[in-house]
Structure formats: structure tokens, C-alpha cells
Chain A
Amino acid sequence: AQTVTQSQPEMSVQEAETVTLSCTYDTSESDYYLFWYKQPPSRQMILVIRQEAYKQQNATENRFSVNFQKAAKSFSLKISDSQLGDAAMYFCAYRSISGAGSYQLTFGKGTKLSVIP
């Protein structure tokens, strides 16, 4: 079974600065998807960024980018030019490419990000 670990329960960043959230995972599969989700107080999980394991290039979505290190099984999220609206819980998640795990998202425990004005 796959596991996802987020070792930072809480992080804070000054507005306009950059912050990196860490995530490690354990799997025996060679192909899979990794995701970062944002959960504001409204509770609705919002997809921030996704990475396909077979792609060497790190995914980027505007101010959000990832550092995917497949051999180290590490998947960190970098938020540049942090904004007050970025304050939320952030969850790292794993999903298999095929088989039973291809529809189950496995989540970490989350990191609570605070943005200081």
C-alpha cells in the first residue's frame, strides 16, 4: 500500500515571499500521479497542481511549482509571491495509474499554511 507523509504540520510565510511545502511518499509502482490540493476553511478540496511520474519535467501552474525527485520519492510544492488567499490546508496526494488504486487518492495529513501580511 502507498503512504504519503507531510512532515510539516504548520508553515508560515510573509506575503509576497516564497514558501516550500514538503511531501514524501512510499510506493513500489513505477508510474503514478501526484497531486497537491488546497483546502480553505470552506472545506472544498481544490486541485493546485499535478505531476505524472513518467514526466521528468516539473509541473508548473502560475505561482505554483513542484520539485519532483522520483528516486528520493519526494514531491515538494513551492509557492512564489505568496498571497493572503493562499492561506489554507495543503494536502499532498498519490494515485496509481492503473488497477484498484487508480481511483483512490491517498492523502497525507496536510500542512496548514498561514500568510502574514
Chain B
Amino acid sequence: GAGVSQTPSNKVTEKGKYVELRCDPISGHTALYWYRQSLGQGPEFLIYFQGTGAADDSGLPNDRFFAVRPEGSVSTLKIQRTERGDSAVYLCASSYFPGLGDNEQFFGPGTRLTVL
């Protein structure tokens, strides 16, 4: 079956603009995660959805970042008033319910966001 897909692959925007990053998880996966990978770093957790609700958004850096998953499938990460420091690769992952054993998180190819 299809893996996790993310669009766009690359996004270039100007400082102060609004951007939306989309994630399509693997069909049947109830859990969805967003991570941010800055240059030279490992991915850092941003937010976790179980179904439609954000079960943990403690990794979101500030209130300019927001994510939704209205129907429990596709998720959109929204960044308002972008800053140059937001430039990074944004990775999405999905899995079956994480509380059951060692459910593997499957990652998408990421969206590279560049803020000029």
C-alpha cells in the first residue's frame, strides 16, 4: 500500500507569510505525528494526534504553529507569520495506536520549508 505522503515537497516563502504543510498518513493509521528537523539536527517532536484530536501539542514552539486533523486522516500543519528560524524539514509520521506494543512510526519524505 501507499506510504505516508507529504505536500509540497519543497516550499519557499517570504518572512511574515502564512504556510500550510499537508500530510496524508497510511490508511488505517489512527496516530499521526509531526516532527521538525533543523539543519544538522535530528527530528524534534512537535505534535501528536490520536484520531481527530491533538493528544499532545507540547512540542509546538509557539502560538504561530497550529495543526489540525479534522477527519482523523489528513493533517495540515499551519505556520503564521513565518520567520527565518522556521526554515527546516517538517516530517510527518503515522502509526497504529501507539499504546499497543512497539507500533512502528512510518515517516513521509518531509517538506523542506525555506523562509527568505
Contact = CB atoms under 8 A, between A and B. Distances in A.
A12 interface: no
B51 interface: no
Given A91-B42, A105-B43, A105-B45, A45 B107 contact: yes
Chain A interface mostly helix, strand, loop or mixed?
Answer: mixed
A15 to B, nearest CB: 26
Interface residues of A, number: 24
Nearest to A6: B42
Interface residues of B, number: 26
Interface string A95-112: 100101011111111100
A43 B110 CA distance: 7
A33 interface: yes
B31 A110 contact: no
Given A91-B42, A100-B56, A105 B109 contact: no
Contact of A98 (B45, B91, B99, B110): B99
A37 to B, nearest CB: 8
A42 B109 CA distance: 7
A4, A47, A105 — most chain B CB neighbours (10 Å): A105
B40 interface: yes
Given A45-B107, A103-B33, A104-B45, 8 more contacts: A42-B109, A43-B91, A43-B112, A45-B43, A50-B102, A105-B35, A109-B41, A110-B41
